[in-house]
Structure 1
Amino acid sequence: MFSIVEMVVVLVAAALMTTVAIKEDAAKRRAQVMTAEGQNEAVINSALSDWVTNNYATLIGGGPVAVVANPPTLNDLFTQGNLKQPHAPGPFWGGSYVISMSVGPATCTASAGDCHVTYVMYPSKPLTRGGVPDIVGASQIAQAGGNSFGYSKTQNAGTITGLNGAWTANNPLGNVPAAILATNGPTSDGNSVYIRRDGALTWTGDQNVNHVSLHNVHDLDAEGTVSAANVSASEAVTAATMTATGAIRGNSVISTTTLQAGNIAVPRVSCSPNGATASNSDGSGQQLTCQYGVWLPTGGNLLRMSYNPVSDGSNVSKPTCPAGGTPIIELAPYGWYVDTTATVNYNAYDYGSYWNIRITDGAGGGITANAVAGTYCSY
């Protein structure tokens, strides 16, 4: 049998244990509430970041702004799809969620693409417990919110300090402990490093798309070289320089300056397809086309190179023919005098770099006569 004293001791101990358990349970439940609040604010902050991304071009369009006049409300974030469900206008301890943003720095311009959107989101009242600032609770909310969150402490309460001291910002509530704030900066919008789908920012470096395709491109303008294995276009392709190792196809290909074909064609060598154009492989610049499966000069098999009036004893220089061409000469008489032998001979004798023209009678003597010597390159 227990004595009365022993029973009293047991009852007191049980009461103390029950009190401790109740306090621990209450602390646990409050910590859960703080965590839920932090996670809720993190959702709002993420939605705010999405809203800034979607409205970035409009926000920076006017250059630097100390205070954006109409930042979004929670209802705006919901109706525009950034928040997936409606949220209470403020935290459980009262007040409202305040959103403020600015565009800077003061020297930025929209054309230079160096403007940033800085925003903050914070409850309008500090967290208190029994009328006293709840620093521990504020810390729990910030921890649940993530690295974008911070809170003010008892010391230096006019400053919001991010988790692990990662950043600091002015306390918008003043010199008040247990104020909670989320920010995207405070000196960077967190979005300008990305390629923006609305074209608000220009690229600042070369891009490597890792061999993936770009589809549904409307216009492609190039100030430099466009190198491609295959270019297929249904409309205009405009470039200062275009280099292709494969085909360039289009309904209409127009150049306002020059088109440079590769030095790959050899006359009388087979080719494909018919209609292809290339330059002579000797680098002379002669244009050849694929005709009936063979590379031939664009102007035909026989190209006139010069037109020279001649008489008996004249010399005519041979033309310089691109690779594959053979110099030839043709004499076309247009007047002569001949003796009674009634024979006229027109001959061009090959002397290496020139032809010697002889117009003679039947006895082999030169006669007074004129002709036109046309020189050609034959392929």
Structure 2
Amino acid sequence: MFSIVEMVVVLVAAALMTTVAIKEDAAKRRSQVMTAEGQNEAVINSALSDWVTNRYATLTAGGPVAVVANPPTLDDLFTQGNLKQPHAPGPFWGGAYVISMSVGPATCTASAGDCHVTYVMYPSKPLTRGGVPDVVGASQIAQAGGNSFGYSKAQNAGTITGLNGAWTATNPLGNAAAAILATNGPTSDGNSVYIRRDGALTWTGDQNVNHVSLHNVHDLDAEGTISAANVGATGAVAASGAVAAGTSVTAGTTIGMGSVGWPRTACPAVNAMAGASDGSGLMLSCQNLSGVLQWMPIGGQKLWYGYTAIPNGNGTFVPSPVCPAGGTPGIVVSGQSTYTDPTASIHYRVDGTGPWTVYIVDGSPGDSTVIPGSAVATTYCAY
């Protein structure tokens, strides 16, 4: 049998063990509460990041802003779909969740696309326990929140320090220990490595879409070369430079050439095509003329323009063609019928350099003896 002293010792030990167990259970439960609070604040911080991303172009449109006038509330985040369920306005120890944001740096501009949106979210009161700052509890909340979270320590309480000392920020609550703050940091403000769907940022490097298709493109503007195996268009395909295709270019309406060429001037490659630079609409192709690449009209060195009947030899006026791109007007007269002395010669005398007057004469080119007859005058532009 146990003595009375032994029984007392056993009871005291059991009481001590029960007390320790109660304290350990209370500490465990408090740790769970801190973890839940940190996870809850992380959800709010993530929703705030989504809100900024969706409005990034609007927020940065005016350039730097020291304090954004109307940051979202928790109700805004819920009603606008960033939070999937409503949240309490503040943490369990009282106060409210405060959201503040700015656009910077002060030298940024919307046109340069170098503005960043910085925001912070923090409880308006530090975490306390028994009226004393609970730095350990604040650490547990920050650990549960993730790398975007930090807290203020008893030493240097005016500074918020991120987990593992990754970043620092001014304590918005002043010189108060156990203050908790979340921020988007320098890389998650909507200005990220991803292509933004709102077009707020320009690409900074060449893109490779890995042989996938782009559908429903409205306009495609290019300063350089567009190369394609096939180009099919129901509207206009416009380029200030070259349009190169491996097989064919098919257009539902028309293909317009840039006005960049001039007859008898150098061209880049055989079979290249261009429009005359005077805007006349004359089409040119790059041709190999005795080993020299030159722009020439697609129809050849002589473009035939009109026919004028010469009903008699007394002098018929033949209008000159309007030659685009510096062409030289010319004329060829072909006889149809004549009447003359069998011993004489027949000549078609052409006076002028365009327009012309055509005569059918008996004799040498300078003879003025006109004879009856008819002919056809064909005009052209030479290049």
Same fold, TM exceeding 0.5? yes
Alignment partner of 1:21: what SS?
helix
Partner residue in 2 for 1:84: 84
Counterpart amino acid of 1:101?
Answer: M
The one-character-per-residue Cα deviations of 1:246-290 (angstroms, maximum 9, x if unpaired) are: 32222232234259997369xxxxxxxxxxx986677565677xx
Counterpart amino acid of 1:8?
Answer: V
Q: 1:18/1:80 Cα in 2 relative to 1: closer, same or farther (>3 Å)?
A: same
**What is the RMSD computed on CA atoms of the aligned residues?**
3.6
Q: Is the 8 A contact 2:101 2:120 kept in 1?
A: yes
Partner residue in 2 for 1:200: 200
Alignment pair present for 1:263 and 2:265: no
Partner residue in 2 for 1:243: 244
Partner residue in 2 for 1:5: 5
Using the TM superposition, give the Cα deviation of residue 244 of structure 1 relative to its aligned residue in structure 2, in angstroms: 2.1
Q: 1:29/1:200 Cα in 2 relative to 1: closer, same or farther (>3 Å)?
A: same
Alignment partner of 1:92: what SS?
coil
Q: Is the 8 A contact 2:49 2:188 kept in 1?
A: no
Q: Is the 8 A contact 1:98 1:122 kept in 2?
A: yes
Cα distance in 1 for partners of 2:115, 2:176 equals 31
Q: Is the 8 A contact 2:105 2:115 kept in 1?
A: yes
Q: Any stretches of 5+ residues in structure 2 without a counterpart?
A: 262-266, 273-283, 305-331, 347-361, 366-374
Partner residue in 2 for 1:229: 229
Partner residue in 2 for 1:147: 147
Using the TM superposition, give the Cα deviation of residue 191 of structure 1 relative to its aligned residue in structure 2, in angstroms: 2.8
Counterpart amino acid of 1:47?
Answer: A
Cα distance in 2 for partners of 1:186, 1:303 equals 67
Cα distance in 1 for partners of 2:270, 2:342 equals 54
What pairs with 1:320-331 in structure 2 (closer than 5 Å)? none
Cα distance in 2 for partners of 1:62, 1:68 equals 11
Counterpart amino acid of 2:257?
Answer: S
Cα distance in 2 for partners of 1:228, 1:106 equals 44
Bigger shift: residues 40-49 or 203-212: 203-212
Using the TM superposition, give the Cα deviation of residue 111 of structure 1 relative to its aligned residue in structure 2, in angstroms: 1.2
Cα distance in 2 for partners of 1:24, 1:373 equals 116
What pairs with 1:1-379 in structure 2 (closer than 5 Å)? 1-185=1-185, 189=189, 191-241=191-241, 242-252=243-253, 253-258=255-260, 263=270, 332=334, 340=343, 368-369=363-364
Q: Is the 8 A contact 2:191 2:201 kept in 1?
A: no
Using the TM superposition, give the Cα deviation of residue 35 of structure 1 relative to its aligned residue in structure 2, in angstroms: 0.7
The one-character-per-residue Cα deviations of 1:19-78 (angstroms, maximum 9, x if unpaired) are: 111111111111111111111100000000000011111111111111111000000000
Bigger shift: residues 236-245 or 169-178: 236-245
Counterpart amino acid of 1:213?
Answer: S
Q: Any stretches of 5+ residues in structure 1 without a counterpart?
A: 266-276, 289-297, 305-329, 345-366
Cα distance in 2 for partners of 1:190, 1:53 equals 4
Counterpart amino acid of 2:214?
Answer: L
Counterpart amino acid of 1:91?
Answer: P
Alignment partner of 2:137: what SS?
helix
Cα distance in 2 for partners of 1:69, 1:185 equals 20
The one-character-per-residue Cα deviations of 1:192-229 (angstroms, maximum 9, x if unpaired) are: 44321111222222222222221111111112222222
Q: Is the 8 A contact 2:285 2:295 kept in 1?
A: no
The one-character-per-residue Cα deviations of 1:332-358 (angstroms, maximum 9, x if unpaired) are: 469898765x899xxxxxxxxxxxxxx
Alignment partner of 1:213: what SS?
coil
Bigger shift: residues 246-255 or 60-69: 246-255
Q: Is the 8 A contact 2:158 2:176 kept in 1?
A: yes
The TM-score with structure 1 as length reference comes to: 0.72
Q: 1:172/1:39 Cα in 2 relative to 1: closer, same or farther (>3 Å)?
A: same
Q: How many residues align?
A: 310
Partner residue in 2 for 1:361: none
Q: Is the 8 A contact 2:345 2:363 kept in 1?
A: no
Q: Is the 8 A contact 2:53 2:190 kept in 1?
A: no
Q: 1:188/1:76 Cα in 2 relative to 1: closer, same or farther (>3 Å)?
A: same
Partner residue in 1 for 2:326: none
Identity of aligned residues (%): 76
